[in-house]
Amino acid sequence: MLWIIGCFALVASAPTVDPKENLNSIMVSGGGDALSVWPWQVSIQTSKGVNFCGGTLITENWILTAAHCPVKAGYHYVVLGEHDRGSNDEAVQIKKISEVIRHPRFNKKNFNNDVALLKLSSPAQITSRVSPVNLVSSSTNIPSGTLCVTTGWGRTATGQGPRILQETTLPIVSTAECKQYWGLTRSITDSMICAGGSGSSSCQGDSGGPLVCDSKGVWYQVGIVSWGTKECKVNAPGVYSRVSFLRQWIDDTVPSLYNLD
């Protein structure tokens, strides 16, 4: 079953450690409130302020998200620099969306090529709270077992969307192991990368959000929250759009990215 609008089914007793300080010390078996802003994380919201998908800022004008997120230009909004959705004191930026570009080969049945780009109606102001993520190159291979972090405001173990941005650490799962888990029920394609099955999971409301990995102190986005079990089972590997495989299409659509490698 798919996450139609894809955060975390969390192990409530697990401690939280800020992954930006020490990735290796994070508990793989849980997640919780993010201790600080992830500056590329965005919330995609309705006109009433309801979060329904996540995304990442990749340039001052463009957001990376999932193609299955039902985003409409001129109707939905992107909120940048947010951490506590219940606070009125944060220096957030709210942007209209002028264009939605979905991958031309996005398959609604198996979520192959589940990636989309949102053009902001006006450039984001780059600050300490708002800055672009680095994207992995098309030649990057992430070894299985690598610990990476995913973030979002999606549904938690309580069944509700959280007020505070959530974060959890997940191990990358090999394609072979992921295929073995999903068997014949779902197709794991080259455009997908798997992570999790270790006690926490992305869930409804997180779709389009980032899966990032640390390399020598620099964070790179390797995945986009795409699909998993309907119940967000924490022992099941979640499936993310593989940024390295989709990087060429992203570059072709947003040429300025060539200068960011």
Q: Please, what's the largest Cα pairwise distance for the chain?
A: 49
Residue type, 175: T
| Given the residues 43, 207, 226, 244, the one annotated as active site | 207
| Given the residues 43, 83, 114, 191, the one annotated as active site | 114
Residue 207 annotated to the active site: yes
How far apart CA 41 and CA 246 sit, in angstroms, is 19
How far apart CA 106 and CA 153 sit, in angstroms, is 25
How far apart CA 227 and CA 186 sit, in angstroms, is 10
How far apart CA 55 and CA 147 sit, in angstroms, is 20
Q: Where are the beta strands (DSSP E) in the chain?
A: 31-33, 41-45, 51-59, 62-65, 77-80, 93-102, 116-120, 134-135, 147-152, 166-173, 192-196, 210-215, 218-227, 237-242
Residue 68 annotated to the active site: yes
- Show the CA angle centred on residue 185, arms to residues 241 and 116, nearest 5°: 20
Q: Pick the closest to residue 201 from 4, 6, 57 (CA basis).
A: 6
| Phi, psi dihedrals of residue 203, rounded to the nearest 5° | -150, -175
| Given the residues 43, 68, 83, 200, the one annotated as active site | 68
- Catalytic site positions: 68, 114, 207
